[in-house]
Amino acid sequence: MSTSPQHTVRVGDNLDVLATLTEPFDLIYLDPPYNTGGRVVQAYTDRFDDWTGFMAPRLVHLPRLLTEAGIVIASIDDREVHHLRVLLDDLLGAHNHVGTIVWDGSTINANHLLSVSHDYLVIYAKDLAAIKATGTRWRQERPDASTMLEAADSAWRAGHGNADEAQKRFRAWLLPRRAVLPRGLTEYDRIDENGSLYRVSDPGAPSEQASRSFRPLQHPVTGRDCPVPKRGWRMNDASMDRMLEEGRIEFGPDHTTQPKLKRMLQDNATAVPRSVFRQEREGARHLARVEGAAAFPFPKDVDVLARWFDTVAADNARILDPFLGSGTTLEVAMALNAADGGERTVTGVVLDEGRIIEDVLRPRIRHCEQVYGEPVATSHEDRRTPTVVA
């Protein structure tokens, strides 16, 4: 019988709690205090030495707490990103920096010279070479792919299942959007007789190899052989037969045109994630809908974290969040588990300062437990005075 994943919240200064942890984690999410905006209990003057001095003794635990394929994702802003990079390069090795994601989430910045609208997600691996050696491929849904598929579906329904009519309608929808949608996507502008959105691609093999198919294809109307690409087809005979059977070869008007390959968008709706994305910040609005939860400065977005956690870690990942704050990471893991049946578990550390536990974290945990049915255990192990808060 399977039991619910057990999440744990440890109350205390993460400086103390991290030192007590021994189990390795598949994913460590860091959202340290930055851009403090004046909410400071003890002196924290935002100078390089202060911030790195605060972070260094905490981050020093990372290598020990990561599995061999472990990943660190850190949320950070423009003011501290370079400090964080120096610290993480030192601790995990610059060669293990996977990349830095720019999240343009719009801004509430009243600056007169430059309105900085983005944050970063800095990603490191414990051992990037080892991850690459396993052939791991990160995939994410291509932005806008679902919008395109939905538009094609509406065009198909409005065209009452007539492919020409549906294609005409879809292209009318696409025309004003061509300039803003990624080119790789707008190439998908044809609708076939099953209502599927597709593009055509070159069927020729990039290099000559004996295993490729060199068989001429017969035109379905004229019955005569169509031209074969110079270096043969991209696939072998068996794959070509399968593609013919699945209707994935598009013939021209007659046998004088070389047939093309059909690439369906629904089969290519994911891609290697890009390092820049735009998504309006939703964290505060989301938290405001949690019954009984007080406002919290800049909670992270469930959707954004869910997308990245899902990209970089398996569905049974053990996740550590040393700066749990309002508990977003707990909700992310539970929402992902609910969506894919996974068994992600979260260990979070929350500083017992102000009324954050009573006013924000507890109501949110209650809400998540009700919605997702996954229990959260809380343990108080350290009640010393906090050193720094956001």
Ligand X SMILES: C[S@@+](CC[C@H](N)C(=O)[O-])C[C@H]1O[C@@H](n2cnc3c(N)ncnc32)[C@H](O)[C@@H]1O
Compute the least distance from the CB of residue 163 to ligand X, in Å: 47
Name the residue type at position 322.
Answer: P
The residue whose Cβ lies closest to ligand X is 325
Of 61-69, 140-148, 237-245, 382-390, the segment contacting ligand X by CB under 6 A is 382-390
Q: Which of residues 196-215 bind ligand X (CB under 6 A)?
A: none
Nearer to ligand X, 79 or 242 (CB): 79
270 binds ligand X (CB under 6 A): no
- Which residue in 328, 337, 345, 347 binds ligand X (CB under 6 A)? 328
Confirm if 35 and 384 have CB atoms less than 8 A apart: no
Ranges assigned E (strand) in 220-284: 249-250, 260-264, 270-271, 276-278
Q: Buried b vs exposed e over 240-270: b needs ≥16 C-beta within 10 Å?
A: beebeeeebbbbeeebeeebbbbebbeeebe
Nearer to ligand X, 101 or 249 (CB): 101
- What's the CA gap between 141 and 386, in Å, rounded? 41
Of 77-85, 87-95, 98-106, 318-326, the segment contacting ligand X by CB under 6 A is 318-326
44 binds ligand X (CB under 6 A): no
The 8-class DSSP code of residue 357 comes to I
What are the φ/ψ torsions at residue 359 (nearest 5 degrees)?
A: -90, -25
- Which residue in 217, 349, 357, 376 binds ligand X (CB under 6 A)? 349
Compute the least distance from the CB of residue 370 to ligand X, in Å: 19
Compute the least distance from the CB of residue 30 to ligand X, in Å: 9
- Which residue in 159, 325, 342, 363 binds ligand X (CB under 6 A)? 325
Nearer to ligand X, 28 or 351 (CB): 351
Query: Vertex 344, ends 327 and 321: CA angle to 5°?
Result: 35
Q: How many C-beta atoms surround the C-beta of residue 71 within 10 A?
A: 27
Compute the least distance from the CB of residue 310 to ligand X, in Å: 17
- Which residue in 167, 326, 337, 347 binds ligand X (CB under 6 A)? 326
- Which residue in 232, 299, 348, 363 binds ligand X (CB under 6 A)? 299
Query: Looking at the DSSP assignment, which residues form a beta bridge with residue 118?
Result: 104
Nearer to ligand X, 148 or 349 (CB): 349
Structure tokens, 246: 């699945």
CA-based torsion, 377, 381, 383, 385: positive or negative: negative
- Which residue in 72, 290, 304, 390 binds ligand X (CB under 6 A)? 390
- Which residue in 323, 336, 344, 376 binds ligand X (CB under 6 A)? 323
387 binds ligand X (CB under 6 A): yes
The 8-class DSSP code of residue 358 comes to I
Of 89-97, 114-122, 184-192, 381-389, the segment contacting ligand X by CB under 6 A is 381-389
Q: Buried b vs exposed e over 9-19: b needs ≥16 C-beta within 10 Å?
A: bbbbbbbebbe
* Residue whose pair of structure tokens reads 């505060």 in the numeric block: 284
According to DSSP H, which parts of 176-327 are helical? 183-186, 237-245, 283-288, 302-312
Of 134-142, 149-157, 209-217, 319-327, the segment contacting ligand X by CB under 6 A is 319-327
Name the residue type at position 157.
Answer: R
306: CB partners within 8 A, 6+ apart: 332, 335, 336
36 binds ligand X (CB under 6 A): no
Nearer to ligand X, 203 or 327 (CB): 327
The 8-class DSSP code of residue 221 comes to T
96 binds ligand X (CB under 6 A): no
Compute the least distance from the CB of residue 59 to ligand X, in Å: 12
Q: How many C-beta atoms surround the C-beta of residue 144 within 10 A?
A: 16
* Residue whose pair of structure tokens reads 């423009």 in the numeric block: 78
Number of residues this chain uses to bind ligand X (CB under 6 A): 19
Judged by the rule CB under 6 A, the positions of this chain that interact with ligand X are: 13-15, 31, 33, 296, 299-300, 323, 325-326, 328, 349, 351, 386-390
